[in-house]
């Protein structure tokens, strides 16, 4: 056993991630699965939306010039010559003078008509309709291409698709879309003392909290779990899982420090590149990163809070970048005033859990890398940069919210 001879700065680790975590290639998927995915290529409209002039109201399609002078005390009478329904256009010829076609919202506009009088300004009787509202040309009419013009750029590449984006693509007749491939993430959880939830354990074993937490975080950041293995502290089995093909990113939880059973750093160095081992931060100082071929590997400490912190700082950023998303923190932020001093030390970054007391915040825990409940009792966290000794009461800081 030995200590870390030196620790990398957080900025150095982030720069390494940005240099190696490139956006993956594309895949074509059905539109029903596209929400939340990142668009791989720009989308250009292949048709006008709507593709025809249509009524924007339930009412009567007329020539606008014929409604001049209509009002409550001067109803004008029009002969009803037919009707148009959504998907069922008016069967007659062009609408002539003082003629009206009964229309429903979304129905094609009859040829010759250029406006719609809403139904509340109309009264039918004996095959005619009395209209009490004068309308101008184009009133209550949705014109062809008013939503999208054929040939227009609809969505830029790199956009994370929302529900309304998917609806827009569907309105163009698209059933599939090209999106950035989801990073395949392999989760390796090591430790002889680890037992899966639901299984019996003895006094000196602990339940695996990191696996469900990491699985949720991977999904949040746009990755998909390719494989999830629970491994004993055995070099051969860890090496085999670490070097097997099929993953874009490997998360190795536990065994990342410098103890006699911490095999992960040595195995990563032997199999590929151990680029980072030991980071000037609290918690998560035993975190590491490297590569096996083109696969990025992140060594996450076994203590749950350290695991969460190292994931959010490093592994999560890599997954988001590979998925075509922004590498920035995915948390909502809020500005708040420090109520009680947040202490730190120059030369390290601190991940400090905080809670709100009214509009101000106070630190909930500055230590205890295994105290996962500190993150459930906290409202969020504050990052203290390495050049700071902390934040004095009254300082306004950015709080990253746990939501």
Contacts of 167 by beta carbon, 8 Å cutoff, 6+ apart: none
The answer to which of 18-27, 113-122, 187-196 has the lowest mean pLDDT is 187-196
Q: Produce one character per residue of 229-257: b if its CB has 16 or more CB atoms within 10 Å, e if not.
A: bebebeeeebbebbbeeebbbbbbbbbbb
Q: Produce one character per residue of 208-227: b if its CB has 16 or more CB atoms within 10 Å, e if not.
A: bbbbebbbebbeebbbebbe
Nearest of 270, 289, 271 to residue 279 by alpha carbon? 289
pLDDT band at 19; cut points 50, 70, 90: very high
Q: Which CATH homologous superfamily contains domain 333-401?
A: MoeA, C-terminal, domain IV (2.40.340.10)
Q: Tell me, what's the pLDDT at 192?
A: 87
Q: Tell me, what's the pLDDT at 258?
A: 60
Q: Which CATH homologous superfamily contains domain 54-142?
A: Molybdopterin biosynthesis moea protein, domain 3. (2.170.190.11)
Q: How far apart are CA 13 and CA 19, in angstroms?
A: 10
Q: Which pair of structure tokens corresponds to residue 44?
A: 């250009």
Q: For the packed helices 264-271 and 235-243, what is the interaxial angle rounded to 10 degrees?
A: 50
The answer to which of 152-161, 212-221, 253-262, 311-320 has the lowest mean pLDDT is 253-262
pLDDT surpasses 80 at 259: no
pLDDT surpasses 80 at 264: yes
Bridge partner residues of 160 (DSSP):
38
Q: How far apart are CA 60 and CA 131, in angstroms?
A: 9
- Contact indicator for 102, 54 with CB cutoff of 8 Å: no
pLDDT band at 67; cut points 50, 70, 90: very high
pLDDT tens readout for residues 274-291: 999 999 999 999 999 999
Helix (H, G, I), strand (E, B) or coil at 273: strand
Nearest of 288, 284, 287 to residue 275 by alpha carbon? 288
CATH 2.170.190.11 domain span(s) along the chain: 54-142
Cis amide leading into 283 (omega within 30)? yes
Range 284-312 average pLDDT: 95
pLDDT surpasses 50 at 270: yes
pLDDT band at 78; cut points 50, 70, 90: very high
pLDDT band at 242; cut points 50, 70, 90: very high
Q: How far apart are CA 161 and CA 39, in angstroms?
A: 7
pLDDT surpasses 80 at 222: yes
Q: Which pair of structure tokens corresponds to residue 188?
A: 């390796």
Q: Tell me, what's the pLDDT at 1?
A: 43
- Contact indicator for 238, 267 with CB cutoff of 8 Å: yes
Q: How far apart are CA 232 and CA 189, in angstroms?
A: 8
Q: How far apart are CA 255 and CA 193, in angstroms?
A: 12
- Contact indicator for 337, 394 with CB cutoff of 8 Å: yes
With a pLDDT cut of 70, the percent of the chain lying above it is: 96
Nearest of 254, 315, 259 to residue 289 by alpha carbon? 315
Contacts of 222 by beta carbon, 8 Å cutoff, 6+ apart: 36, 37, 38, 182, 183, 319, 320, 323, 324, 325
- Average pLDDT of the chain? 94
Q: How many other C-beta atoms can be found within 10 angstroms of the C-beta atom of residue 80? A: 16
pLDDT surpasses 80 at 369: no
Q: How far apart are CA 290 and CA 251, in angstroms?
A: 11
pLDDT band at 6; cut points 50, 70, 90: confident
Domain 26-49+146-180 -> CATH class? alpha beta
Q: Which pair of structure tokens corresponds to residue 284?
A: 């998560």
pLDDT tens readout for residues 33-64: 999 999 999 999 999 999 999 999 999 999 99
Q: Tell me, what's the pLDDT at 233?
A: 86
pLDDT band at 267; cut points 50, 70, 90: very high
Higher pLDDT, 257 or 395: 395
Range 83-90 average pLDDT: 97
pTM for this prediction: 0.87
pLDDT surpasses 70 at 363: yes
pLDDT band at 4; cut points 50, 70, 90: low
pLDDT band at 364; cut points 50, 70, 90: confident
CATH 2.40.340.10 domain span(s) along the chain: 333-401
CATH number assigned to the domain with residue range 10-24+182-322, chosen from the 4 options 3.40.980.10, 3.10.50.40, 3.40.50.620, 3.40.718.10: 3.40.980.10
With a pLDDT cut of 90, the percent of the chain lying above it is: 87
Nearest of 108, 92, 104, 93 to residue 51 by alpha carbon? 108
- Contact indicator for 67, 186 with CB cutoff of 8 Å: no
pLDDT tens readout for residues 130-147: 999 999 999 999 999 999
Q: Tell me, what's the pLDDT at 3?
A: 52
Q: How far apart are CA 314 and CA 138, in angstroms?
A: 56
Query: DSSP state, 66?
Result: G
Residue with tokens 């410098």: 258
Q: Tell me, what's the pLDDT at 62?
A: 98
pLDDT surpasses 80 at 216: yes
pLDDT tens readout for residues 160-210: 999 999 999 999 999 999 999 999 999 999 988 888 888 898 988 889 999
CATH 3.40.980.10 domain span(s) along the chain: 10-24+182-322
């Amino acid at each position: 056993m030995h200590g870390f001879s030196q620790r990398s700065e957080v900025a150095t680790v982030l720069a390494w991630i940005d240099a190696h975590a490139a956006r993956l290639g594309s895949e074509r998927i059905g539109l029903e699965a596209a929400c939340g995915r990142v668009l791989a290529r720009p989308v250009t409209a292949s048709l006008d939306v709507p593709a025809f002039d249509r009524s924007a109201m339930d009412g009567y399609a007329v020539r606008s010039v014929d409604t001049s002078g209509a009002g409550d005390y001067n109803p004008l009478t029009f002969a009803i010559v037919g009707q148009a329904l959504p998907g069922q256009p008016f069967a007659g010829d062009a609408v002539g003078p003082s003629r009206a076609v009964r229309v429903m919202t979304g129905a094609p506009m009859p040829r010759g008509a250029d406006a719609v009088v809403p139904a509340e300004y109309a009264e039918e009787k004996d095959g005619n309709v009395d209209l009490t509202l004068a309308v101008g040309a184009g009133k209550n009419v949705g014109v062809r291409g008013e939503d999208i013009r054929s040939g227009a750029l609809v969505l830029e590449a790199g956009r994370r698709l929302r529900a309304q984006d998917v609806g827009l693509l569907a309105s163009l007749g698209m059933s599939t879309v090209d999106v950035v491939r989801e990073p395949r993430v392999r989760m390796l959880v090591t430790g002889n003392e680890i037992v899966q939830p639901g299984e019996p354990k003895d006094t000196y074993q602990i339940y695996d909290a990191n696996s469900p937490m990491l699985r949720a975080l991977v999904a949040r950041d746009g990755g998909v779990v390719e494989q999830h293995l629970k491994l004993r502290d055995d070099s051969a089995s860890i090496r085999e899982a670490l070097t097997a093909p099929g993953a874009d990113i490997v998360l190795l939880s536990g065994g990342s420090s410098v103890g006699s059973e911490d095999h992960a750093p040595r195995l990563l160095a032997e199999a590929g590149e151990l680029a980072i081992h030991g980071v000037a931060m609290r918690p998560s100082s035993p975190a590491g990163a490297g590569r096996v071929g083109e696969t990025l590997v992140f060594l996450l400490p076994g203590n749950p809070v350290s695991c969460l912190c190292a994931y959010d700082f490093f592994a999560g950023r890599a997954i988001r970048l590979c998925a075509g998303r922004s590498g920035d923190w995915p948390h909502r932020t809020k500005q708040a005033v420090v109520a009680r001093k947040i202490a730190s030390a120059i030369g390290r970054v601190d991940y400090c859990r905080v809670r709100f007391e009214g509009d101000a915040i106070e630190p909930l825990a500055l230590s205890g890398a295994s105290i996962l409940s500190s993150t459930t009792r906290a409202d969020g966290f504050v990052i203290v940069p390495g050049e700071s000794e902390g934040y004095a009461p009254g300082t306004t800081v950015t709080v990253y919210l746990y939501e």
